[in-house]
Structure 1
Amino acid sequence: MSVKNIKEFPIEMQPRERLEEKGVDYLTNQELLAIALRTGSKNKNVLTLSQEVLSHFDNLYDLKMASLNELMNISGIGRVKAIEIQAILELGKRISNASQIKHGQIYSSAFLGEQLILEMKDYVQEHLLVIYLNAKNEVIKKQTIFIGTLNQSVAHPREIFRIAVKVSAARLIVVHNHPSGNPQPSDHDRLFTKRLTDCGKLIGIEVLDHLVIGSDSYVSFQESSQM
């Protein structure tokens, strides 16, 4: 193909558009590298240049280990593009070696409840907080999902479990406060807990507990056998 400018390709063949439409997993190594390089050289469009870079090495490992000089020996790869490629490869290595950050371990509802009284007792609005755990009950994410009146229209399990799946949580604990200071669960709290527990069973993510926080005490659905 004699096309020099990537914009001259049919829209369905342009890497960025294909990524948006199909998803990153669908793209070839050539297309991914083309997106990273952004532009080609004087006589080559970026897809052609990307393929030449990949063809220069026997495999992706050799590309990962390439020096700046090795990259600059490829026709069309100057100093700037060689630096860009090395930066991309190094970021990929660091991401590959990264591990999920842990934020302590949950030992009991009582331990957590006492902590959250101090954190949430003075809130003047209801806050719905979710603590996401791995299989060892280590906290991998803690996120406020909603602020305001807790009702069925806003407190929907969809958002809670969307995040759980994203962070690969094995189980979770739901927490919300009662600004009145009285932690006794309402009928809606009980219905909401049942909805969450049922959804969790369907997708294999356990809802360990629902804590309701008051001004100086809490109620645990698990401890009070309401789950």
Structure 2
Amino acid sequence: MENSEKRLTIKDLAEDDRPREKMERKGASSLSDAELIAILLRVGNASETAVDVAQRLLGQVNNSLNELARLSLHQLTRIKGIGRTKAITILAALELGRRRNAEGPINRERIFSSRSVIDLFQPVLADLPHEEFWVLLLNKSNRIIERVKVSQGGVGGTVVDPKLVLKHAVERLASAVIVVHNHPSGNPQPSDKDIALTEKLKNAAQLFDITLLDHVIVTDGECYSFADNGKM
């Protein structure tokens, strides 16, 4: 005999209506407030899916996340379909959002010139006995999103795959990149391979509407900037 008390789950929805799958396909911003809460709830009750319960919950707080955040654990558990575990999960998510807002915007360092890049990388790369190749990912304001080591080689060089450089840039939605590597020999002048790689990276980046702003070669003394030397 079928259990009439079986809880409806998100899997009971048509695939296009499942919040988790929708989030994977289109990103979190594509989901409604109810769909995001449904992901936290995971399952509904005997007559409602998690999305139904989330919609009813929001209806009781005038569809306001601010009002929802004011509810206590006791108040949440009085709502049909929301037990103690679900209520704690919702409150934890709301608290994370509150703490994020309290932190304010991320203060990302801004790159103004090759000097900014040298100051950032010379302490890291100048004394290494081997070559390393790094990419600096920047937003539209030339503020640093992230710096990533792409490859590491020997004294005479390192192999760099342009696809890997651009993979990092595309994944982090960078608007511009600066590539950096060191010359353990102390000679800051670019080799023919450095020049060819720079041109290849520049052309490849343009296909993704990403700007290669500079290629900086770091040593423990003088450094070299392709941009400062009119090579970009």
Same fold (TM over 0.5): yes
Q: Percent identity?
A: 34
What secondary structure, in the 3-state scheme, does the structure 2 residue paired with 1:4 have?
A: coil
Structure 1 pair 76–130 and aligned structure 2 pair: CA distance change class (3 A)? same
Q: Which of 140, 150, 154 is equivalent to 2:158?
A: 150
Q: Who is 2:52 aligned against?
A: 48
Alignment of 1:62-141 (within 5 A): 62-68=66-72, 69-95=74-100, 98-103=104-109, 105-110=110-115, 112-113=117-118, 116-141=121-146
Please say if 1:24 is aligned against 2:32: no
The aligned amino acid for 1:6 is T
Q: 1:148-187 alignment to 2 at 5 Å?
A: 148=153, 150-151=158-159, 154-156=160-162, 158-187=163-192
Verify the 8 A CA contact 1:182 1:215 in the aligned structure 2.
Answer: no
115 and 162 in structure 1: CA distance in 2 versus 1, 3 angstrom threshold: closer
What residue number does 1:208 align with? 213
Q: What is the TM-score with the length of structure 1 in the denominator?
A: 0.76
1: CA distance, partners of 2:167 / 2:106: 18
Structure 2 residue 197 is the aligned partner of structure 1 residue 197: no
| Partner Cα distance (2:105, 2:171) in 1 | 15
Size of the aligned set, in residue pairs, is 222
Task: Give the alignment partner of residue 42 of structure 2, picking from 38, 41, 52.
Answer: 38
Cross-structure match for 1:58: 62
Which one-letter code corresponds to 2:196 in the other structure? Answer: L
Amino acid aligned to 1:74: I
Deviations 1:60-108 (A, max 9, x none): 33544431144233122233322221221232344466423313x4343
Shift in alpha-carbon separation, 1:198–1:62, aligned structure 2, 3 A: same
Cα distance change of structure 1 residues 88 and 144 upon mapping to structure 2, 3 Å threshold? same
Using the TM superposition, give the Cα deviation of residue 193 of structure 1 relative to its aligned residue in structure 2, in angstroms: 1.0
1:7 is displaced (CA, Å) by: 6.9
Gaps of 5+ in 1: none
Deviating above 6 A after TM superposition, structure 1's stretches of 4 or more consecutive aligned residues are none
RMSD after superposition: 3.3
- C-alpha spacing 1:94/1:164, structure 2 compared with 1 (3 Å): farther
Give 5+ residue unaligned stretches, structure 2.
none
Check whether the contact 2:10–2:50 (CA below 8 A) recurs between aligned residues.
Answer: no
* Partners of 2:8 and 2:47 within 8 A in 1: no
Give the direction of change, closer, same or farther, for the CA distance of 1:100–1:19 in structure 2 (3 Å limit).
Answer: same
Q: Does the 8 A contact of 2:7 with 2:45 survive in 1?
A: no
Residue 143 of structure 1 aligns with an amino acid whose one-letter code is: V
| C-alpha displacement of 1:221 | 1.0
